[in-house]
Structure 1
């Protein structure tokens, strides 16, 4: 494989450790939020204690007139504590929300950038709809996990610690034991059952991703579906995935109901025992009425959030599951990487030399190239021709270093491209690919993509060189015309001419034309070919072609067959030999004459 991807479930702690450095970028905000959180919980603890003293004061006086002598400080303290909970709680929420949103943005941005650093084979083996779905789920998972942990679990842990410490210090030890044991049982039951449910949630996510990828794939290939009248087949394929997703969702719901019932049973048993002991203490005068109210209030403060703690833990666990695919992307390492001592390419003319290059797309599989050796002198044009599957386009991918050669070298001005940075290498090369794909943006944006920040004059000059300026200005919105998804609003020839304009705007030292005029009619092809012949005079140019008529002026023509160069020479030299090239030439010429005769009749 050309990329290394870890698969399978990851430990939540592994993912948390991965996120921690991003969170610590905002450690000041986190520390301030934690301080606010502690203040909130201390105030929450003091509220029922203050209320207990108020009740005991009333109970001791035994008269309604006692209201006149209730210490005003207790009433004011009670009000101030309520106010403190709201103020510090609001500050905590604002700070945690800032950290949550910023962390999510940074992780998503890094993941998006990391995807662009991965090898070509990674993207060829994945569905784009599935990848975007995984990133969306990952972003939602970060938000859910962080907001639930910082906003729910951590506050409950602090509050439980404070309450248990207070009960152990001021009351009979059985209260501490009952609450501690019940909470431990609650947490253990929740963790065990939730981990069991994780399998069903992971299955649900899998079918959800498959459904999204299936829908995206089908809609992107909308025309193909129409061509082959396969609307019903596509619906059946999509519905089959949705049916499996429905079954998985049902299992998730049923297991949730079981978990919820078990949690409530533990809470009810614990509350009954605590209130029984508290009520007995009041009857026996070992506890006051205020103590009973205090313990009951503590139970409410603990068990109400604890009831949601199970839901919170499940959401965190599910958020971590949603994060797994994004973590796999971040954990995937490209096979093609810059060497630690890599240096920028020093291009001085752009001579290209393939030296005994062997290559196969999968290690140990069928070789695509066998000992390929040729040189393109600086400023010269070399064309590569041959049947489909001969390995012609592979030369362009290797020159761009989308893959590394198995053996041999590729040199530019004497520098092995494996020893230079990929950014500087690709900056020196421009390509017009056989299958032109455009961004769903304006024509100007697609041309200027080769040189971000290019002026309108530069864009129009490149468009004129590609013989598409007149077509563009004839459109109602001219250069601001939207081209549609993958450029579907334009014809194949129009897309290809935009790709040529984009390559010319980049003004690189090395040009690659991979069937650059294959989608053009004969008239447009001849016009552009004359322009290209002029433009490439001072460029090192590699032309990969099927139509031999487009390469007759090349300084050298290479004929490839099954990954080997079987002939080389000029157009005239190859015709004089009367071998493979000559056979291809006469076959294409006869086909052209036959087509002309059919049109004439």
Structure 2
């Protein structure tokens, strides 16, 4: 019986972005009540943290205005509640971030464990011909990098992209509310320009990054397979040959960096 692919058959016809999102959703989709609650708590804490971060400059503005009031205005002692409020909001914001990181750590570990188990089962379901022709070092490198990449992509999508978009919307709304829509337009335009530049540069570097990853996997494959077949290497006195092979791969890798 042939092993089922990790991605559906239609995935190669899709764009790389759609395939990546589909794989992330299949990997990160909560499977139990505890995971659903953890994911919901992480999202709530993320939104709450961004709201608190947005409130801090507004409170700080009130503190500065109160302390800069002319003589006979608001006394300095009257600004104490504002200062305490600012300190409290700062502590709450940091607390939300720390609690969010703790919850995400447990959730990320479960997702990584699920992906690792699924990949392990997939490898065992492959045919005997594939296992006879396998390259152990390259397979191990792909497993380690692939499982780690899933967790990294989820973290970037949740805490970098989504959080930045939320903060951008909230900040633009605040600037528009206080009567300076030009700053809102500048913020949105700058963010859009930076996003376009980042995506374009990343797309240009994809090919180079794949070559570097391929060279790194081939070098690791030489090391692992050579050590696993240590008796054969010794029997044929091929230590120098193996060293030259590994040196050639590392040289090619250094030239790609």
- Note the residue ranges of structure 2 that are not aligned, 5 or more in a row: none
Using a 3 Å threshold, how does the CA distance of structure 1 residues 67 and 216 change in structure 2: closer, same or farther? same
1:136 and 2:144 equivalent? yes
Offset at residue 158 of structure 1 (A): 1.5
Per the normalisation by structure 1, the TM-score is: 0.39
Q: Distance in 1 between matches of 2:3 and 2:120?
A: 17
1:23 and 2:28 equivalent? yes
The residue aligned with 2:68 is: 59
Q: Distance in 2 between matches of 1:223 and 1:63?
A: 91
The residue aligned with 2:47 is: 38
Q: Distance in 1 between matches of 2:52 and 2:192?
A: 25
DSSP-derived class of the 1:224 partner? helix
The residue aligned with 1:237 is: 245
Please list, as runs of the form range in 1=range in 2, the aligned pairs for 1:9-158 lying within 5 A after superposition. Answer: 11-25=16-30, 26-62=35-71, 66-70=75-79, 72-158=80-166
The residue aligned with 1:426 is: none
* RMSD, aligned α-carbons: 2.4
For residues 42-94 of structure 1, give each alpha carbon's deviation from its aligned partner in whole angstroms, at most 9, with x where no partner exists.
Answer: 11111100010111222233579831233x43222212211110221111111
Q: Distance in 1 between matches of 2:65 and 2:146?
A: 53
The residue aligned with 1:331 is: none
Q: Distance in 2 between matches of 1:176 and 1:65?
A: 32
Q: Distance in 2 between matches of 1:50 and 1:120?
A: 67
Q: Distance in 2 between matches of 1:37 and 1:123?
A: 44
Offset at residue 4 of structure 1 (A): 8.5
Please list, as runs of the form range in 1=range in 2, the aligned pairs for 1:316-335 lying within 5 A after superposition. Answer: none
Relative contact order, higher structure (CA 8 A, sep 6+):
2
Using a 3 Å threshold, how does the CA distance of structure 1 residues 175 and 111 change in structure 2: closer, same or farther? same
The residue aligned with 2:208 is: 200
For residues 341-386 of structure 1, give each alpha carbon's deviation from its aligned partner in whole angstroms, at most 9, with x where no partner exists.
Answer: xxxxxxxxxxxxxxxxxxxxxxxxxxxxxxxxxxxxxxxxxxxxxx
Per the normalisation by structure 2, the TM-score is: 0.88
Q: Distance in 1 between matches of 2:255 and 2:15?
A: 24
Structure whose residues are more often strand by fraction: 1
Where in structure 1 do 4 or more consecutive aligned residues deviate above 4 Å? 2-10, 62-65
Q: Distance in 2 between matches of 1:83 and 1:4?
A: 49
Number of aligned residue pairs: give it.
Answer: 247
For residues 207-242 of structure 1, give each alpha carbon's deviation from its aligned partner in whole angstroms, at most 9, with x where no partner exists.
Answer: 111111111121122122222222111111111111
Larger Rg: 1
Q: In structure 2, which of residues 163, 167, 178 is the aligned counterpart of residue 170 of structure 1? A: 178
Structure whose residues are more often helix by fraction: 2
Offset at residue 180 of structure 1 (A): 1.1
Q: Distance in 1 between matches of 2:256 and 2:104?
A: 33
Q: Distance in 2 between matches of 1:126 and 1:78?
A: 60
